[in-house]
Amino acid sequence: MSNTIETIKEQITSNDILLYMKGTPRMPQCGFSAQAVQALMACGERFAFVNILENPDIRAELPKYANWPTFPQLWIKGELVGGCDIIVEMASNGELQSLVKEAAPSEE
């Protein structure tokens, strides 16, 4: 198995809330990533991210690994939640907030 896949698995297992995106939360490089970040930030919990523009190997391998062709990709507790449309829809009906709050490490 390639090192890139190992890296992806490590990122997904070591971060409860992980967004693979184009750019960074402060400087998204595409509209879909920007929408996903806004929806996640509105949940009020910290999340990890990987800028796939700076990681071409991950950009190439993740769609095959996840069986999901596009970015951004939101992973919570090791499960692929989905891309921008799913994230925004879940945010609008309250599902995203619940999922994120459950996954967020407690601050106690």
30 is in an annotated binding site: yes
Asked whether the predicted pLDDT for residue 72 surpasses 70, the reply is: yes
User: Domain with 60 in it: what CATH number?
Assistant: 3.40.30.10
Domain count, the chain: 1
Closest CA to 32 of 86, 94, 93: 86
Banded model confidence at residue 89, pLDDT cuts 50, 70, 90: very high
84 is in an annotated binding site: yes
71 is in an annotated binding site: yes
Range of the domain at 28: 3-103
Q: Enter the pTM of the model.
A: 0.94
Interhelix angle 95-103/31-41, nearest 10 degrees? 70
59 is in an annotated binding site: yes
How far apart (Å, rounded) are the C-alpha atoms in residues 71 and 36? 10
Q: Is residue 37 part of a domain?
A: yes
Q: Is residue 70 part of a domain?
A: yes
Residue-wise pLDDT for 21-38, tens only, equals 999 999 999 999 999 999
Q: Is residue 36 part of a domain?
A: yes
Q: Is residue 108 part of a domain?
A: no
How far apart (Å, rounded) are the C-alpha atoms in residues 30 and 7? 24
